[in-house]
Amino acid sequence: MNPSSIRGVLPIYKEGRAITARLSRSMQEWILTQTGGEPEAADVSKERAQAEALAAVHREWESLLAENAPLAFRVARGVLRNDAEAEDVTQEAMLRAYRRFDGLRERTRFRAWLVRISFRMALDRLRAIKRRQTREAEWVLENSRNAAHQADNAEFQRQFDRAMDELPEKQRLVLFLAAMEGHTLEEVSLLLAVPIGTVKSRLFFARKTLAERLRCFVNPTANR
């Protein structure tokens, strides 16, 4: 990752640390403010065990976050092509992952899980951005001296975006990681925890679908 991307992820990681710190303080305050008579030894042991278990979860979360936050940012950045938007999405994805962390039974799948969250949220943000930009794009096309050429390019982009949006989510994610993010098929297989044959199949059908949808732009005589 380039230095600017690393700097962009640092505030996100610090925010995650702040969340865990606040939760830890809340647990400590809860234990300290319990009222009543002298605590029973069993109660003290139970509270200590709960606090230690919570601390262990915090350490595990912070370790996984430090390792995988940069990839979550790169995935969002690959979809949005904008550092600021990608940082926002990554922070939201990490917050969502933190809230659901206890429900993740297999911690070894954390990387793939966080990647999917970041990818889906980045797609949602991209669609929202496109909706805001639609009227501006139409105005530019209408007032451009090269309106015909611009219209062709814009139509290709619209068809490409539509074809990408209509791909099944699993195919779209594999296509993004392999063709756009530059991961090898072996890396995608490890990242998503699926057999390499499955990765190849999803990538093949994703490319085939895009080729069929966009063939008229590659071969203008196809529609004649």
pLDDT for res 6: 43
Q: What is the DSSP string of the chain?
A: --HHHHHHHHHHHHHHHHHHHHHHHHHHHHHHT--SSSPPHHHHHHHHHHHHHHHHHHHHHHHHHHHHHHHHHHHHHHHH--HHHHHHHHHHHHHHHHHTGGG---GGGHHHHHHHHHHHHHHHHHHHHHHHHHHHHHHHHHH-TTHHHHHHHHHHHHHHHHHHHHS-HHHHHHHIIIIIS---HHHHHHHHTS-HHHHHHHHHHHHHHHHHHHHHHHSGGGG-
* Average pLDDT of the residues in 26-47: 58
- How much is the pTM? 0.52
pLDDT for res 101: 86
Q: Among 40-49, 133-142, 143-152, 153-162, which is the least confidently predicted range?
A: 143-152
* Average pLDDT of the residues in 188-214: 87
Residue 17 has pLDDT above 80, yes or no: no
pLDDT for res 16: 55
